[in-house]
Amino acid sequence: MNDPCLERGLLENRAAAGMAVPMKDDRTGQPPAPAAPRASLGESAYRALRAQILEMTLPPGHQATEGDLAAQLGMSRTPVHEAVLRLQAEGFLEVQPRRGIRVLPIDPTGMAETYEVLIALEGAAAARLATKRDEAAIDTMARATEAMREALARGDRHAWAAADDRFHRTLVQNCGNARLARMAQEAADLAQRARLATAALRPEPAGSAEEHARILDALRLGDAEAARAALSAHRQRASAEILRTLSLPLMRLGGH
């Protein structure tokens, strides 16, 4: 602002309205840039508890008091209570009077809807990436696929899952549409809970690397529709297997 009178008037108006009046930077003579907003404690508690539910650190059926959760997070009960109410509204847990919270079992119907969204979004991401011909992203996905094969050969399902997740994250993060990537990752995070919950009851994922290879072939050829189809077929096969496992009576025990 070049007019000192106008600048002074604006500052006086801010002061009269009870608003903070920024101090000037001694080096530039201008008000400092506003600090980046910090997440509230309630938001931090929400993110931490949601991550623990999605990663199965807090598995279905887990019970705890808000005091227990607050102690675990090193916070007071107020932000934890805010987080609990949000997670209850999203269907992750329920509040039981005088008993605290209980993590709810995974709803097969809700998970089927999540996979429907995920398949559509990742299919669109695959088509966009094929059009971009992003060789660096494709190479990263190829290395992740090879890491999956190696992990499976040595019986390391944890390393296999990490490599599989890296393949899909690279796909969506490099598709060239930030909004699509964000929505797809949100759906993938929800699906991850079902994958972890059913891992011990599902057969060895021997065919996933070959399905990834077909996706990579389509990406290298720049064939958008083939990439979309290969990705969709891969996710549909995997999700059908997970949803069948979720419907087993054993999987519902955590909710009772």
Do 49 and 155 reside in the same domain of the chain?
no
Do 98 and 128 reside in the same domain of the chain?
no
Please name the residues in contact with 233: beta carbons below 8 A apart, sequence gap of 6 or more: 211
Do 130 and 242 reside in the same domain of the chain?
yes
Residue 4 domain-assigned (yes or no): no
Residue 98 domain-assigned (yes or no): yes
Choose the most confident range, by mean pLDDT, from 54-58, 107-111, 124-128, 203-207: 124-128
Do 98 and 204 reside in the same domain of the chain?
no
Phi, psi of 183 (to 5 degrees): -65, -40
Residue that terminates a domain, selected from 103, 120, 138: 103
pLDDT at 226: 98
What DSSP state is assigned to residue 35?
A: P
Q: What's the CA angle centered on 148, arms 145 and 152, to 5 degrees?
A: 150
Query: Looking at the predicted structure, is the pLDDT value of residue 137 above 60?
Result: yes
Q: Which tops the pLDDT comparison, 58 or 19?
A: 58
Residue that terminates a domain, selected from 49, 82, 103: 103
Domain count within the chain: 2
Residue 28 domain-assigned (yes or no): no
Do 117 and 65 reside in the same domain of the chain?
no
Query: Looking at the predicted structure, is the pLDDT value of residue 96 above 60?
Result: yes
Residue 32 domain-assigned (yes or no): no
Q: Given phi > 0 = left and psi -120 to 50 = alpha, else beta, which region is 37?
A: beta
Measured in whole angstroms, the distance separating CA 122 from the mean position of its chain's CA atoms is 14
Residue that terminates a domain, selected from 77, 103, 129: 103
Using 50, 70 and 90 to split pLDDT, how confident is the model at 158? Answer: confident
Widest CA span in the chain? 75
Instruction: Compute CA distances 163 → 6, 142, 159, 169, whole Å.
Output: 58, 10, 6, 10
Do 233 and 152 reside in the same domain of the chain?
yes
Average pLDDT rounded to a whole number, residues 73-94: 93
Q: What is the mean pLDDT of the chain?
A: 85
pLDDT at 10: 41
Query: Looking at the predicted structure, is the pLDDT value of residue 234 above 60?
Result: yes
Average pLDDT rounded to a whole number, residues 159-176: 94
Q: Which of 43-52, 121-130, 194-203 has the lowest mean pLDDT?
A: 194-203
Can you spell out the DSSP letters for 162-206? HHHHHHHHHHHHTSS-HHHHHHHHHHHHHHHHHHHHHGGGSPP-T
Q: Which tops the pLDDT comparison, 95 or 15?
A: 95
Dist. CA 200–CA 153, nearest whole Å: 17
Dist. CA 129–CA 52, nearest whole Å: 31
CATH number at residue 149: 1.20.120.530
Query: Looking at the predicted structure, is the pLDDT value of residue 92 above 70?
Result: yes
Over residues 23-70, the pLDDT tens digits come to 454 445 555 544 434 458 999 999 999 999 988 899 989 999 999 999
pLDDT at 30: 56
Do 129 and 241 reside in the same domain of the chain?
yes
pLDDT at 29: 57
Q: Counting beta carbons within 10 angstroms of the beta carbon of residue 203, is it exposed (0 to 12), middle (13 to 18) or buried (19 or more)?
A: exposed
Beta pairing class for 100-103 and 93-96: antiparallel
Q: Are 108 and 243 in contact (CB under 8 A)?
A: yes
Do 127 and 237 reside in the same domain of the chain?
yes
Do 231 and 115 reside in the same domain of the chain?
yes
Sheet holding 100-103, edge to edge: 63-64, 100-103, 93-96
Residue 2 domain-assigned (yes or no): no
Q: What is the extent of the structural domain holding 53?
A: 41-103
Average pLDDT rounded to a whole number, residues 88-110: 90
pLDDT at 248: 82
Residue 15 domain-assigned (yes or no): no
Q: How large a percentage of the chain has pLDDT more than 90? A: 63
pTM (predicted TM-score): 0.74
Dist. CA 77–CA 53, nearest whole Å: 19
Query: Looking at the predicted structure, is the pLDDT value of residue 116 above 50?
Result: yes
Residue 85 domain-assigned (yes or no): yes
Do 147 and 236 reside in the same domain of the chain?
yes
CATH number at residue 94: 1.10.10.10
Do 69 and 133 reside in the same domain of the chain?
no
Query: Looking at the predicted structure, is the pLDDT value of residue 247 above 90?
Result: no
Q: Counting beta carbons within 10 angstroms of the beta carbon of residue 38, is it exposed (0 to 12), middle (13 to 18) or buried (19 or more)?
A: exposed
